[in-house]
Amino acid sequence: MVRVQPEEYVSTRSMSWAALSPGIWMKVLRLSAESGTWTVLLRAEAGASFARHRHLAAGEYFMLSGKMEVRGGAQAGGVTAVAGDYGWEPVSVIHDHTFFPEETEFLFTNHGAVQFLDEQGNTTSVLDWEVIESLAQATSARAA
């Protein structure tokens, strides 16, 4: 017998933004303990950035508004993503610097964890579905 998962619907308008990192906020759309996959709506303030990190599983994004500069942006040989752009990030890719020069919103799905690194390549933290869930629950508890 095949077990079918129920479909999911999320109204993002009724959700609160949860802090992910300084200047970056998220709304959790889906978490999967079975696969480790997590999907979030991200909002970055102008000037915010993600620290150096490695994708321990593939990730993908779709830009809704604003601008994201990956690996220094197009002017430095990286990627500058704007509204309407889609990106796929393979397993093990390292992003030295992901910067948001203007307020930005995008949909992001990662199929596992993201490992944050210092300049020597040492792990400073790991972001996975359990951490995402914990951050979202903390925001919900404060709002209640």
- pLDDT top residue among 14 and 62: 62
Span 33-132 CATH architecture: Sandwich (2.60)
Quote the CA–CA distance of 30 and 108 in Å, as a whole number. 11
**What digits encode the pLDDT tens for the residues 50-108?**
999 999 999 999 999 999 999 989 999 999 999 999 999 999 999 988 999 999 999 99
Average pLDDT over residues 15-19: 92
CB 36 within 8 A of CB 112: yes
Residue 9 half-sphere exposure toward CB, CA atoms < 13 A: 1
pLDDT of residue 142: 67
Say if residue 2's pLDDT is above 90.
no
Residue boundaries of the structural domains of the chain: 33-132
